[in-house]
Structure 1
Amino acid sequence: MSGSLFDDLDDPGGDPAADRPAPGRSRRARAPLAVRMRPRTLDEVVGQQHLLRPGSPLRVLAGEDRGPAGPSSIILWGPPGTGKTTLAHVIARGVSRTFVELSAITAGVKDVRKVMDEALTDRDLHGRTTVLFLDEIHRFTKAQQDALLPGVENRWVVLVAATTENPSFSVVSPLLSRSLLLSLQPLERADIAGLLDRAVADPRGLAGAVRLSPEAREHLLDLCGGDARKALTSLEAAAGVALSEHGTEHGTAQEPAQAPAPDEGPGAPPLITREHAEEALDRAAVRYDRNGDQHYDVVSAFIKSIRGSDVDAAMHYLARMIEAGEDPRFIARRLIISAAEDIGTADPTALQAAVAAAQAVQLIGMPEGRIPLAQAVAHLATAPKSNAAYTAIDAAIADVRAGRAGPVPPHLRDAHYPGAGQLGHGRGYVYTHDEPTGVATQQYPPDELVGTDYYRPADRGRERQIAERLQILRGIVRGRD
């Protein structure tokens, strides 16, 4: 078996025969499989078809569609492994292009200004367009992003910026207004499946050095999380395991990991089994950023699932946050808010359960803290729901902000200090414990709010009984028969 898995098939120039490794030996690749399999044209790009229609900004940038309008600077926003860097490199292959790549992790304002100066020279003297690919632009400071503005404004460069974070929060407004924002979606399962099959057979990839079993293929698809780079990296690692067990890499005759199928010849390439794939990839990629969109989107779905009484969906989002390393104290705080906001007095024990879960997490830590959190989620999601207390306080606050906050009735005012009695404070106050029912008929709110109902219990859970009692209480307090 040849060492094609480890050959650098993108190596330009040179004599292929002279560069071929000796029999029984292999040469380590200088580029990962994910890099070697990068598309060379937009037609080879998998997924993102909503951005690749004829006449789209990406096709104009790549030089495939020409028109009166020049290429526009773009910001590519999407999860890891969806093709942001790939699209930038395809664009770089356009004719009369100078491609410059900077990383926001290492580049500074000085580097940006140098690119701008050289781009202006290339444009005016040589008629060449400079495409500046800036990876992870969200890591640039405001000053660094501002340094891009003159070049983008005057089209000294065509900026292709990539980010995994919402540009609305991470990119300065002037730069956003001078660029097109293109959103990339996670790749579909079928897209990645086709990419894996192509990587196994393509000369730039594994060149048929291995075969991929359906079970291993499904495992890689299950756990890659829509990330093409992770899928290809895991495939390469699984292929390395299979070849090593087969004795290919070192030219030794080891026992195959799996007996050949009846229709396979003795010289058939080794088969990547599910066991090989599991060794390469044993945990699914969890898309989550503790300070970005995923953080807010997942916790939003978590709370809405509890509110909607879907305990199974709520458990799913809880698991995603736990697996992504979310702070369990943050989760517990959200549960406390949910118990008060969405359940309230329909089940008063829900708040107790949420507070107890928060205290338990503080005491025992993780990973055991997942258990009281799950118990609280189950309690809250299956509890009767009412936001009556939440809407009551908001309505009362709205009235106060609107100026409906008249004087406190004299009989309710503090009468403990000297001279308060001369002012009439406390005069006529009825002590409720002296009443046979424990409830007195007297005015409590300011004059302008007499008869206002803020709290309106729902006809669910314990609030059904509260509503019946409340009708009686309001009747006594307000002097109605």
Structure 2
Amino acid sequence: MNTPLADRIRPQSLDDIVGQKHLLGANKPLRKIIESGEIPNLIFYGPSGVGKTTLATYIAKRTNRTLKKLNGTTASTSDIKEVVSELNTFSGMNGILLYLDEIQYFNKKQQQVLLEYIENGSITLIASTTENPYFYVYNAILSRSTVFEFKPVPPEEIERAVQRAAEIISEEQEVEVDFPASCRKKIAHGCGGDVRKAMNAVELAILVADEVDGVKKVSEESVAELVQKSAVRYDKEGDEHYDIISAYQKSMRGSDSNAALHYLARLLEAGDLPSACRRLMVCACEDVGLAYPQLIPIVKSCVDIAQAVGLPEARIPLADAVIMVCNAPKSNSAYMGINRAAQDLKAGNYGPVPRQLQNMHYDGEDNNNKGQFYNYPHDYPNHYVNQQYLPDIIRDRVYYEYGDNKNEQAYKNYWDKIKNR
């Protein structure tokens, strides 16, 4: 069979579709829409291999519409017009459902051409994308469509599809297939929620299985080789990249060592050492900060070691640093302080540098008050003297506020005493 197994086992009912119970379960909105037969323009958003194409195919079949498929990476505006041209033919008499895969690759002009036809009802559009549609899809199309998010399929659901796939191959090849539950479970857990990947693994596992007494016996060893590297979902150019690094830093900020190590492992499994190092250093400065400033050079040293040794050993110093960041006291006082200062600049709240701080070498003849009047702090007790440092218009502005951690409170007590507060 040249047709991929994933296509040969397309479900015949909504209940046959694995996963997406939040969309297709009883009384869920998308299920009700499909069962009504009145299909609006839809956008399916989610990772590959989770049923977007499968559901679009089912919808076309259930509503007796002609299904036309285009891919945003290769289709042109002429392809869209060719689809529309079939409306007045026999094949388009019940309406055309256009399934546009990877719509995010359509440029604005192409999406505007598409808009013309969905706006006048010539075609019903079901577009799919692995990227966030609110970033990549033209607003006018979004406003005329309903977005549904698809999620990775849980292993227990994939295991059901694996069993069905094995049965179909057995029927097609007219041979008994012995597919142990342990093998089904390993494939289901090793495909990263991607049903298509699981189907490919099933097909290959049966292909390489030894036939004994008319029975093809799938072995755990062969399955282990086929799924030896878990399909961690990660695309350095996509949403998943930003989701993982966001979860990575937020887990460190939240002092959850287990979660932080999990996301670190996902970054490193995908080979993204630069992101793992960069976010770790940012977190040390932004989230630990002045509560334990000694940690910043320690983290930098761990990052230097990781970059020197490379993967896979880089995981060791990075794990050390991640756990230290998680367990360190936290303060974002410096981060908030610089943000407040930057906001003042953006708002135009700044003025000339006070005279006593300027780099003064010469007073013009027109200046009747010659001199810089700078007080050198080291000439005074405790190396401190009260003088104005901020520009006049913001002379009383407070950007930095002491954190409530032991370290910053020690700073505060020291300077409160010296400044006679």
Greater displacement, 367-376 / 44-53: 367-376
Hey, what does 1:318 align to over in structure 2?
A: 264
- Tell me how far apart the structure 2 counterparts of residues 277 and 157 of structure 1 sit (CA, whole Å): 44
Which one of 196, 199, 206 corresponds to residue 162 of structure 2? 196
Structure 1 residues 11-61: Cα deviation after superposition (integer angstroms, max 9, x where no partner): xxxxxxxxxxxxxxxxxx222322211112223212223333569556655
Counterparts of 1:403 and 1:59, CA distance in 2: 54
Instruction: State the partner residue of 2:255.
Output: 309
Do the aligned residues in 1 keep the contact of 2:351 with 2:393 (CA within 8 Å)?
yes
Secondary structure of 1:423's partner?
coil
1:41-52 aligned within 5 A? 41-52=13-24
Matched AA of 1:217: R
Q: Using the alignment, how far apart are the partners of 2:196 and 2:92 within structure 1?
A: 36
Once the two structures are superposed, residues 61-94 of structure 1 have per-residue CA deviations (whole angstroms, 9 ceiling, x without a partner) of 5xx434xxx4212111111121011112212323
Secondary structure at the residue paired with 2:215?
Answer: coil
Return the match for 1:92 from 60, 78, 85.
60
Q: Where does the alignment leave 5 or more consecutive residues of structure 2 unmatched?
A: none
Shift of the alpha carbon at 1:401?
A: 4.8
2:165 maps to amino acid = A
Aligned partner of 1:222 in structure 2 is: 189
Confirm whether residue 232 of structure 1 aligns to residue 208 of structure 2: no
Mapped to 1, the partners of 2:293 and 2:27 lie a distance apart of: 59
> What letter is aligned with 1:277?
V
Residue 277 (structure 1) shift: 1.2
* Residue aligned with 2:267, SS: helix
Question: In the alignment, which of 367, 370, 376 is matched to residue 431 of structure 1?
Answer: 376
SS where residue 19 of structure 2 aligns? Answer: coil
Q: Hey, what's the Cα distance between the residues in 2 that align with 1:336 and 1:142?
A: 38
Q: How many correspondences in the alignment? A: 418
In the TM superposition, residue 355 of structure 1 has moved relative to its aligned partner by 3.3
- 1:92 to 1:209, Cα distance in 2 relative to 1, 3 A: farther
1:358: Cα distance to partner? 4.5
Q: Is the 8 A contact 1:386 1:457 kept in 2?
A: no
- What does residue 281 of structure 1 align with? 227
Would you say the 8 A contact 1:200–1:207 is kept in 2?
Answer: no
SS of the equivalent of 1:415 reads coil
Tell me how far 1:298 sits from its aligned partner: 0.7
CA distance in 1, matches of 2:389, 2:310: 47
One-letter amino acid matched to 1:222: H
What SS does the corresponding residue of 1:290 show, helix, strand or coil?
coil
Decide which structure has greater helix share.
2
Q: Is the 8 A contact 2:70 2:100 kept in 1?
A: yes
- 2:334 is equivalent to residue 389 of structure 1: yes
What RMSD in Å do the two structures reach over aligned CA positions?
Answer: 2.8
Aligned match of 2:218: 272
Shift of 1:301: 0.6
Q: Secondary structure at the match of 2:125?
A: strand
Distance in 1 of aligned mates of 2:48 and 2:344: 48
Letter in 2 for 1:144: Q
Label 1:290 to 1:452 Cα distance change in 2 as closer, same or farther (>3 A). same
Structure-2 change in CA distance of 1:180 and 1:341 (3 Å): same
What does residue 80 of structure 1 align with? 48
TM-score, normalised relative to structure 2: 0.89
CA distance in 2, matches of 1:445, 1:105: 55
Distance 1:236 1:100 in 2: 27
- Residue 145 of structure 1 is matched in structure 2 by 111
Equivalent residue, structure 2, for 1:246: 211
Structure 1, unaligned stretches of length 5 or more? 1-28, 248-266
Q: Match for residue 284 of structure 2?
A: 339
Q: Which has the larger radius of gyration?
A: 1
Q: 2:36 aligns with which of 49, 60, 65?
A: 65
Q: In the alignment, is the contact (CA less than 8 A) between 1:341 and 1:387 conserved in 2?
A: yes
| TM-score in terms of structure 1 length | 0.78
SS, match of residue 230 in structure 2: coil
